[in-house]
Amino acid sequence: MAAASVIARNLFLEGLKKLSEEFVVELRKGAGEPTDRSAREFVKLHGREALARVAKLHFKNTQKIRA
């Protein structure tokens, strides 16, 4: 079970890096001001609609950015 968790985490981080490169914005995990800053930059470059491609829309920090 622990190995699956490590593999899943690695895949998540690799996916986040790939999306960051694709959208030319450092996408951050978690919450807080650095993540909010990245989200605002993302929206500025790609629009609010594109958030669905990189974020969970029901999370509070995403809702804050979409408002």
Residue 24 pLDDT: 97
Whether the predicted pLDDT of 62 surpasses 80: yes
Residue type, 27: L
Angle, helices 33-46 vs 2-23, to 10°: value is 40
In tens, the pLDDT along 17-27 reads 999 999 999 99
Contact (Cβ atoms closer than 8 angstroms) between residue 12 and residue 18: no
Which residue, chain included where needed, has tokens 């899943």? Answer: 8
Residue 37 pLDDT: 92
In tens, the pLDDT along 27-60 reads 999 888 999 999 999 999 999 999 999 988 888 8
In tens, the pLDDT along 3-17 reads 999 999 999 999 999
Q: Is 16 left (phi over 0), alpha (psi -120 to 50) or beta?
A: alpha
